[in-house]
Amino acid sequence: MKTVYKLIIALVILATTGLTVVACSSTKGTYSDVPATADAVAEEEFKMEKSGAQLWGETCNRCHIAPSPADYNDTDWETISLHMRVRANLTEKESMKIEEFLKSAN
């Protein structure tokens, strides 16, 4: 039982710390005005969303140097993207956007 207690305490501490950090750092939409028009909505989304190129630079470099898009073809990048999504625990959006960028830039 000692082990279970240790595990629970550690998880609670981590979850509390995580939620605190997230709550303090995330400002997405919290105090922003509601966009009135479709153009304004699109502009707001444009501001928030990162490009595939940006995600490619930020995400791949966390473990290894970001790969050159020219080194594989579109079909290969589809396979590699699925593999890396699972291996590096990427979000679906990160994985899809990086794949789109790599396929457009190769």
Partner 1 sequence: MKKLLVFTTLLVLGSSIYGQTYNTFEPSKTQFMLRGYGHTGFEYMDSGDETESTFLGSAFAPIFLYKHSDRLMFEAELEFVLESNELEIGLEYADVMYVLNKNMTVRAGKFLLPFGTFMERLHPAWINRLPNAPLGYGHDGIAPSSGIGVELRGAFDLGGPKLNYSVYSTNGPRIKDGSEEPEEAGILQFANYEDTNLAKAYGGRIGLLPFSDSSTEIGFSAYSTSGTGEEDSEFEDIGAFLYALDFSLVKQIPGLSGIVDVKAQYNSSNVDTATFIEMHEDGDEEEYSFDNQSNSFYAQLSYRPTMANSDFVKKLEFVGRYSDFNAPEGAEWEEKSTQYAFGLNYWLSWRSVVKLSYQTTETEGGHDGDGITNTDGLFLHWAIGF
> By the criterion CB under 8 A, which residues form the site for partner 1?
3, 6-7, 10-11, 14-15, 17-18, 21-22, 25-29, 58-59, 61-68, 74-76, 78-80, 82-83, 85-94
Of 51 and 79, which CB lies nearer to partner 1 in the complex structure? 79
Work out how close the CB of 85 gets to partner 1 at its nearest, in angstroms, rounded to a whole number. Answer: 8
Give the DSSP letter string of 45-76.
Answer: HHHHPPPHHHHHHHHHTTTSPPPPGGGS-HHH
Work out how close the CB of 105 gets to partner 1 at its nearest, in angstroms, rounded to a whole number. Answer: 14
Alpha-carbon gap, residue 1 to 4, rounded angstroms? 5
Of 43 and 58, which CB lies nearer to partner 1 in the complex structure? 58
**How crowded is the C-beta side of 88, counted as CA atoms within 13 Å?**
19
Work out how close the CB of 39 gets to partner 1 at its nearest, in angstroms, rounded to a whole number. Answer: 22
